[in-house]
Each structure stands twice: as structure tokens, then as C-alpha cells.
Structure 1
Amino acid sequence: MSELSTTLIHHPYTPPAGFKAISPPVYKASTIIFPSMAALRSRDWKHKTGYTYGLHGTPTTFTLEERIATLEGGKFCTLVPSGLAAVVLVDMALLKAGDEVLIPDNAYGPNRTFAEAELAFWGIICQFYDAMNPADLAAKLNQKSRLVWLEAPGSITLEFPDLPALVAVVKSHNASPGQAHPEGAVTALDNTWGAGLAFNAFTLGADISVQALTKYPSGGADVLMGSVVTNNEALQQLIHFCHMRVGYGVSGNDAELVLRGLSSMALRYAAQDAATRQLAAWLQTQPQIAAVLHPALPDSPGHTQWKRDCSGAACLFSAVFKPEITQLQIDRFCDSLQLFKLGYSWAGPMSLCVTYDMPKLRVVKPWPWQGGLVRFSVGLEAVADLQADIAQGLARL
């Protein structure tokens, strides 16, 4: 090689083996080099025993997948670019035209809008059910049912369902001759709130668990990623092949950020849990508030199930204002907060809040409250400072 430009690209130096550090190395690649054509033809990407192309994994992403599988108590993990992508991947891998998916009425909003738009366009039927009423799910399962989404607790309003009872309904349906889909209905749980720490999705009976790694596993509010975990190899292969065909991939740098976040995840979860319970209990005593929704509060819907199945709770709670307080006043309350910033997502270091128009987000049964709702995400600030911030905002009302 006489030209310097060629030498720099094909440089013969290889660093010595034996380097070890606390953090896993970051591999960034689209193209992966093979030692021979025989190796290229024989490399198995289907079971993640080798490397073929950046989209199919690197040592960095394989390491993160193994750790997320362990976190969730599962065997197989697939990484995707966001939490919503994890939901979409499960839908695309399992559903075909003529199938039906059932979604809780209190599910993560983009889950239901994807079903109402793209899935409907593809000829896939969508029904919504009351997650707090297993009998409603049982009544809506039919021969076309292929996928049942679960969420614990419900998005925004934080009702905690009886997950074992909902799973039992699906299993009973699958066992009924002439009633179940030929391949059976699969249960998939959005476990972002539990994060693999508050409860084990598979112990409670779910077939698939998805997370937005954007939230607790990252913890820094600076990366988007999702995961799909299962113990079932047949389901894993369906998910893995669909993942390959749609071209989902995550970068080595993003995987590095999530790997780093995992180290402190349990500590952050516990700290934010404690702070959130303290703020939620205090806010219950304020005269402007009609109800505070948080599974650990005794009068919050699903508290009994949460107490039975969970060892902790995430950083979210929602406050329902009394009916005489207008939405304009609630908006001004949010605008007046200094530490709680206005924004979506949660589980990062900074506290957040956002308002929701709940009557428009329910189709199975009417929203029971008359006042407006604000969802709070508690960060890592001092609890006394956060309480003072909410107090000054309430005083302005």
C-alpha cells in the first residue's frame, strides 16, 4: 500500500487483547467484516449467535438485550428505536388482516391510535375493553382475537388492574374448543411503569412484556429506545423476523446510554417512588383537589391489586381538580410552576406535568370525574422544594 489514504483505511494494527473496564465497549457499525465467504454464508443471525449487519446487532446491543431480558425475568429481548416502536413491532409480528386486537380503554394513547389508524387500514379489527373488569374482556374475546394488550397501571389515570385475572380470562378463552383463534390469543403487557422492578410480568402470566427504555432504564431524558421481551421462543422468532424485515435498529451510542442508566435504575426507582408517594398523599389534603390517583393510595382504583402484586410504584400521580376550577385556571396553575416543567415523558431527573382532557380519551365507559386532570412526573429534586412549588401554584388559584 503505497498511498497514505489506503493505508489509513486498511491499517494493519490491532490493539492487544486483555483490556477490561466497568462499562461495556461501544461498537458502532453498519457493515460487519467477515473472514471468508464461507463464514458470510454460514453466519446465523436468527438466533443471535453471530454478527451479519448492524441492524441485526452488535456486541453492545446484544449485551443490553441480555441485561433487559434479565431485568424483566425473560429469556429473549429485542431492541427497537422507541417504546411506541415496541408496541408496533408486537402488533405487526402477530396480527394479520382479519385478526382482532383488544386494548385497554386506559392504555397508552399511541397504542390505541396506531390500532385505530394503521391496523384498521390493514384490515385488523380493534376493540377496547374495561381493564378493571375482567368480565368485559371475557365478553369481547371471540374467534378472531389474536392479541390482548395489558397495561399496569393505566396510562395517565393509573388504575391498577387484576393482571392474573385478565390473563386467566385469555387462557380460558384459548382453552375453549371452537372459540379461540387457531394460534391462540397472546397477552402483551406494557410494563414501562413497573420497569421490571415493581413486579415480574411473566410471573403474573403475560406472554410478552414491552418497555419504553426511554423512561427508567435510561433515566436521563436523553435517549429514545424500547424493548420486547418474552420467554416463548416461537413468539421471539416471530418478533425477531419482523424486526429484521421492517429495519428497526438502535445505535451503539444510545445502547451505551441505557447500559449506563441500568446501573442506578433501582436506586432512582426507589427514590422517586418515595418522593411521589409523599407528594401524592400531601396533595390529597389540598382543598382544590377532588382526587389524587396513585396505586399506593388506599382509595385509588386498583389499590388492592397493586398491594398484592407489586413491591413498589413509579414516579407518576394524577390530580383531579374540583369541578368549579376551570381548565383556564388549571392551565395557569401549570404555567406558574417553576420546578415542574411542561412536557411529556417521565422518569428523568427533572419533574414534569401536563394536562389531559380525559372525557375524550375514554370510549368504553364515561370518565367519572367532572374536573380537569393534571399528571405529575416526579424527578430527583428535593421533595420539600417540589411541594412548595405545587403549593405556590395552588395559591394562585
Structure 2
Amino acid sequence: MSNPENKKFHVDTKITQLGRNVDEQCGFVNMPVYRGSTVVFNSVESLKNNDARFIYGTLGTPTIHSLESAWSELSGAAGTVMSPSGLGAIALALMTTLKSGDHLLMPDSVYRPTREFCAVFLNKFGVEVSYYDPLLGEGISGLLRENTSTIFLESPGSQSFEIQDVPAITRIARARGIKTIIDNTWATPLFFRAHDHGCDLSVEAGTKYLSGHSDLLMGLISANAETWPALRQTYDCMAMLPGAEDCFLALRGLRTLHIRLKEAEKRGLEMANWLTRQPEVAKILHPAFPECPGHEIWKRDFTGSTGLFSVVLKPGHHQTSLAAMLDSLEIFGMGYSWGGFESLIIPFDCSTYRTATTWNPGGLTIRLQIGLEDIDDLKRDLRQGLDKLHG
């Protein structure tokens, strides 16, 4: 059986086949784990020319290449590199497109560690960062400067779930020779094809849905043909790669990714709809819901939704009663990651660090990740928790 990367299979078939070739794996179904740093050359001439398929561990192994090629095919990209975390992938992408003296546009709804990377690292190296309203769309043209080299996008926004008009922004950026980077972790390439919508670089925290089991840290960055040489050069300079076992686990997670995403979508929508009927809930921040900012753009550009969304509680509840609610939950754990098999919940407040927009949802806010537990058990757990809001 050969690798079907260029064949027109449906995604459910492709995802089981990409990144493996049993003819090269001695008939075994899965790519084995290649661990190692040193690669031995068979001649002086080969050593001088570096003409072996693999020349050193930091530049790739068969395990790493299998994951890279699979993700590139899934993303519609010219190439992919990886890092040991999602934030590492964001850093690698930004270092690919930025230099000292450049101006970067960053959405105000961005993942907070990305904001911190800008404030601490990029500021130190002379990159100026401006934050913009994620709902700006074509209006972003008014924020461009002569030295604007990069526009960063995250759609939906972290915690607050604004959907950005990615095609409008990338169209303006391309006309000005500006690079675009998107954090596409929530949707993955299965529900949003970032490169098809004009993004030069697409970042994914493989820690989340690709892993699926909360036991892996990984970031992936895919690039279109124009940006791929620069990304690969930056990656080779940094040698920032994940371990062999992590790549193996990511390849294993890839095989069930589409099935798990569809189940996450189903469960997420059921729980979100149930929450709309609870008297303590003011609104749901879920891209598939009309009240979510950018909902119409989501309907136009996305092919699905996943199991992560936020809830705005009605006014009148306080932090102490919210803490009582959260502490009473038996199934939902409190943790910052998501995309695994377990349900999670966290309280959040964006108002303290936003600079381009004002975060005033009208009530306390919580973010939920819907896992694979029995859906009725999850409802009962949340219902008894919501009861605690009343003291």
C-alpha cells in the first residue's frame, strides 16, 4: 500500500492514510518511533554534500517527516514544521515574518500568552505591536503603516470567541506585501482551511485536538509556497523540535481526529443549547450561535464547530458564588488546556488586559470544554453547580 497524499480520497479516508507507508515500514501499520541525533553517512562525498535523506536529528527523522507531510496535506500547505508547544509554534511563526523595526498588528482577543510574548520578547528586539478590534475586517487597512510586516489573526478569539473576517484581512495584507499568521487551533484544518482563505502561516496547538488525550505538548506551523522557505530556514536555525514519542502520539491522534471533532461538535452544541435554557445564563459565546460576534462569517467560512465555548452569566452573581459553583463540580475539572477527552471549566475576565476594545459582557464569564463523559451526567453536574450561584 502506498501513501495516498495526492489522491482524491475523502477526508475520513485520507486521515487514516497520511504520513505512513507500510511498504517502507516492513509491513507494520504505523510509522515506528525513530529516536536519535547522529546519522551516519556512507562516504566522504555524501558527508560533504549532505546528500543523505536525513543528516542530523534536529533536521528531521522519518517519524517527524511523517507527521510534517501528513499535516501539510491536511492543511493544503507547501510545508510544515513543529515545535514542543503551541506557544512555541506561535513564536516560531512570528520570528519567521518579523525583524527589528517592524510593526505587528495583533487582535485584541488573542491568546494571552501570545500577548505576553509580544510584550516581553518582541518588545526587547524592537518590534512594535499594535492591538486591533478582531471584528474590524476590511477596516484594518486604516491601521497599516509603512513598516507593518505582519498581521496576526486568531479566529475565534481566545475565550471571547469573536470570528474574524479572515479573507478580507488577508486580501488587504497580500495587496500590501504583508504576511498573515493565524492561530487555527479551535477549528483545526478540518473545519477551517486557513491557507485556502489566504493565510501565509497557520499555527496549531497539537496539544489540543490533535493529541486528544491531554498527554502531549506540541505546536505545528504550516506555510504556503511563498512563505515556506523562510519558515523552514527559521526552524532550522532554531532546532526547536518536539520529541520522537510526541510525534508518534500526534500521528496516532491524527487517525481519529475527524471522528473526535465531529463528536466534539455534536456534544458542544447540545450542551450549549441546554445552557441557553438555564435561568442563570445570559448568553452563549459559541460561533454557531447568532449572538456570537462574527456568527455570519463563521457560517460563510467554516465547515464545523468544536467543543469549546464560553457562557455569560446573568448580572447579580458574584465571584464568591461563582467559586462555590466551580468548587462543587464533580465531573468538570478546572484546567487551562482543552481538546482532550475530559470536560473542563475555567472562569475568565478579559477586561484587565484588553487595550483596543472594552470587554464588558454584562456578567461573569466561564469557558467550557465538553469532553466524552455521558452528556446527561454533564448536565446534572452543571445544574447542581448553577444552583450554588444562589447561595
Q: Same fold (TM over 0.5)?
A: yes
Q: Is the CA contact (8 Å cut-off) linking 2:133 and 2:356 kept in structure 1?
A: yes
Work out the CA distance in 1 between the residues paired with 2:273 and 2:353: 26
SS in 1 for 2:214: coil
User: Is 1:168 the equivalent of 2:171?
Assistant: yes
User: Is 1:33 the equivalent of 2:40?
Assistant: yes
User: Is 1:96 the equivalent of 2:99?
Assistant: yes
The letter of the residue matching 2:87 is L
Q: Is the CA contact (8 Å cut-off) linking 1:129 and 1:136 kept in structure 2?
A: no
Post-superposition offset of 1:135: 4.5
User: Is 1:43 the equivalent of 2:50?
Assistant: yes
Work out the CA distance in 2 between the residues paired with 1:253 and 1:42: 30
User: Is 1:376 the equivalent of 2:368?
Assistant: yes
CA offsets 1:121-164 (integer angstroms, 9 cap, x no match): 10000000111112542111111101101111111111111111
Post-superposition offset of 1:37: 2.1
Post-superposition offset of 1:168: 2.2
User: Is 1:127 the equivalent of 2:130?
Assistant: yes
Q: What is aligned with 2:197?
A: 204
Map 1:324-363 to 2 at 5 A. 324-363=316-355
Map 1:210-225 to 2 at 5 A. 210-225=203-218
SS in 1 for 2:380: helix
Q: Is the CA contact (8 Å cut-off) linking 2:206 and 2:220 kept in structure 1?
A: yes
The letter of the residue matching 1:29 is G
Q: Please report the TM-score for the alignment, with normalisation by the length of structure 1.
A: 0.89
CA offsets 1:32-80 (integer angstroms, 9 cap, x no match): 1111221112125xxxx72111111000000000001111111200011
SS in 1 for 2:189: coil
Q: What is aligned with 2:109?
A: 106
Map 1:310-321 to 2 at 5 A. 310-321=302-313
Q: What is aligned with 2:279?
A: 287
Q: Is the CA contact (8 Å cut-off) linking 1:55 and 1:250 kept in structure 2?
A: no
Q: What is aligned with 2:12?
A: none
Q: Is the CA contact (8 Å cut-off) linking 2:283 and 2:291 kept in structure 1?
A: no
Q: Is the CA contact (8 Å cut-off) linking 2:137 and 2:166 kept in structure 1?
A: no
User: Is 1:61 the equivalent of 2:64?
Assistant: yes
Moved over 4 A (4+): none
SS in 2 for 1:214: coil
Q: Is the CA contact (8 Å cut-off) linking 2:138 and 2:168 kept in structure 1?
A: no
Give 1 or 2 for the bigger CA radius of gyration.
1
Where does the alignment leave 5 or more consecutive residues of structure 1 unmatched?
1-16, 175-183
Post-superposition offset of 1:201: 0.6
The percent of aligned pairs where both chains have the same amino acid is: 37
Post-superposition offset of 1:339: 0.9
Q: 1:285 to 1:69 in 2, by over 3 A?
A: same
SS in 2 for 1:366: coil
Q: What is aligned with 1:254?
A: 246
Q: How many residues are matched?
A: 366
Post-superposition offset of 1:222: 0.5
Q: Which deviates more from structure 2 when the two are superposed, residues 56-65 or residues 357-366?
A: 357-366
Post-superposition offset of 1:370: 3.0
Map 1:271-286 to 2 at 5 A. 271-286=263-278
The letter of the residue matching 1:26 is V
Work out the CA distance in 1 between the residues paired with 2:26 and 2:98: 46
SS in 1 for 2:197: coil
Calculate the aligned-residue CA RMSD, in Å: 1.4
Where does the alignment leave 5 or more consecutive residues of structure 2 unmatched?
1-23
Work out the CA distance in 1 between the residues paired with 2:92 and 2:102: 16
Q: What is aligned with 1:231?
A: 224
Q: What is aligned with 2:19?
A: none
Work out the CA distance in 1 between the residues paired with 2:350 and 2:85: 25
